[in-house]
Structure 1
Amino acid sequence: MSQDLKDKAIAYLRHLENREWADAQAMCSEKATVWHNDGKGDGTIQENVAGMEAQIDPIESMRYDITRQISQPGEVLQQHVVNVVMKDGGAFRVDAAVYFRFEDGLITRIEEYACLPSNG
C-alpha cells in the first residue's frame, strides 16, 4: 500500500510536468487543500492547478527529480528537485519537500516547502 501511494505522488507530478492539468486534478479530492511556505495560507487544488497553468507558458520543460520518499498509511513525504528550462534558454532548479495526504486513494492535502530558485 505504501508503494502505491508513493507511485501516486509521482504520477501526480508527472501529470504536472506534461501539462496534464485535468489528470493531475482528477487524482485529488474535490475538497483537497494546498499549502505553500509563501505566507498565503491554504488554497484549493483548483486554484493551485490554475495557478500553475497560468505560469507555464514561458517554460519549455519542467522535471521533478525525486530525491527520497518516506511513507506511512495515508501519507507520503518526499524531497525533490524541480528542474526548469525556459523557452528563452534560461534554466533553474527549486529544491522542495512535499507532504501528500491521501484518503480513499485520492490526494486530500498537499504541503510544499520550497526554497528560492537557483541556477540550474
Structure 2
Amino acid sequence: MSQDLKATVVTYLHALEDLDFDAARALCAETATVWHNDGKGDESLESYFAGLKTQISLYESIHYDIGRQLAQPGGVVQQHVVRVVTKTGERGGIHAAVYFGFNDAGLIVRIEAYANYIPDVRAD
C-alpha cells in the first residue's frame, strides 16, 4: 500500500507540472485541507488550487525534483525541489518538505508543506 501512496504523490506532482489541475484534484478527497508555512493556517483545497494556479502562471515551467520519499500506512513524507523558470528566464528552486496524508480509499486528505524559494545564482 505504501508504494501505491508514493506513486499517487508522483502522479499528483506530474499533473501539476502539466498544469492539469483537474487530474491533480481528482487524487484528493473533497474534504482535503492544506497547510503552508505562511502563517495563514489551514486552507480548503479550492483555495489552495486557486492560489496554485496563480503562482504557477508566473512560471514558464516547473518540475518537481524528488530527493527523498518515505511512506508508511496512511502517509508520505518527502523532500523535493520545485525547479522553476520564470517568464523572464530567472531560474530558481522552491525547496520543500511535504507531508501527504491519505484516507482508506487512497485519496489525499491532507497536505502540509514547508517551503522556501531560493534563486539560482550559478553562472551559466
Q: Does 1:115 align with 2:116?
A: yes
**Contact 1:25/1:46 (8 A) holds in 2:** no
Partner of 1:9: 9
Partner of 1:105: 106
* Unaligned residue ranges in structure 2 (runs of 5+): none
* Unaligned residue ranges in structure 1 (runs of 5+): none
Quote the offset at 1:42 in angstroms: 0.1
Name the CA distance, whole Å, in 2 between partners of 1:3 and 1:46. 27
| Alignment of structure 1 residues 36-115 onto 2, 5 Å | 36-103=36-103, 104-115=105-116
Q: In the comparison of the two structures, how many residue pairs are matched?
A: 120
Please provide the CA RMSD for this pair: 1.1
Alignment-mate amino acid for residue 101 of structure 2: R
Name the CA distance, whole Å, in 2 between partners of 1:56 and 1:114. 15
Secondary structure of 2:22 counterpart: helix
Indicate the percent of aligned positions where both proteins have the same amino acid.
52
Name the CA distance, whole Å, in 2 between partners of 1:79 and 1:93. 12
Quote the offset at 1:106 in angstroms: 0.3
Give the TM-score normalised by the residue count of structure 1. Answer: 0.95
**Contact 1:33/1:109 (8 A) holds in 2:** yes
Secondary structure of 2:117 counterpart: coil
Quote the offset at 1:95 in angstroms: 0.8
Secondary structure of 1:99 counterpart: strand
